[in-house]
Amino acid sequence: MKTLILGGVRSGKSRLAERLAVQSTLPVTYIATATGDDAEMRARIEAHRAGRPADWSLVEEPLALAETLRAHAAPGRCLLVDCLTLWLTNLLSDVENDRLDRACAALLEALPALPGRLILVGNETNMGVTPLGELSRRYCDTAGRLHQELAQRCDGVILTVAGLPLVLKGDPV
C-alpha cells in the first residue's frame, strides 16, 4: 500500500501521515528530508522529532531518496517520507543541475517495486497564483509534475485542508 498525502503548510498532512503509520501496526522508519540550515528550521525539526513515537527509527536523507527507500523498504515495514517538497528544494539547491531530474526519475522508477507500506508527504504548491521568478516557477512545476506521477502510482491519495483529510483516491481514512 502506497499513499500520497498532499496539503498546504500546516494543513495537518504530517499528523495524518503519522496517524496512518501508527494504524498500520508495522515497525516504522521515518525518512526525514529536511535540513536544519537555520534556527527556525532546527526548531521545526525538533518539534517533529518530539512528537513521534520513540520506537520509530529515523533516517535523515536530504537528497538520495530513491536509494534510501530501496535500502529500507521491506515486507512488514512502514516507511514514512516527510517531505517530498523539502527534498525537491534540496535538489534545486544542489550544484549538479541535472540531479533534480535524475532523482525524480529514480523515485518514480523505484516506487512500484518497493515492498511494505509507504506514506509520502508533500506540500501542494499549485493552488495559487503563478509565482514570480524562474526558480519558484520551476519548483512549482516540478512539484506538480512529481505529485501527478506519484498519484498515478499510489494506491491512495489524500488532500488535507485545515486538518481534515479529503480522500481523492483509495479507501476512506
Active site residues: 48
Among 8, 62, 66, smallest CA distance to 33 is for 62
With b for 16 or more beta-carbon neighbours within 10 A and e for fewer, the 95-123 pattern comes to eeeeebeebbebbeebbeebebbbbbbbb
Q: In sequence order, which ranges of the chain are alpha helices (DSSP H)?
A: 13-23, 39-51, 65-72, 84-93, 99-110, 134-153
The DSSP H or E segment spanning 62 is none
Among 118, 104, 110, smallest CA distance to 154 is for 118
Provide the 8-state DSSP code for 119: E
Cell of 141: 512545476
Dist. CA 24–CA 22, nearest whole Å = 5
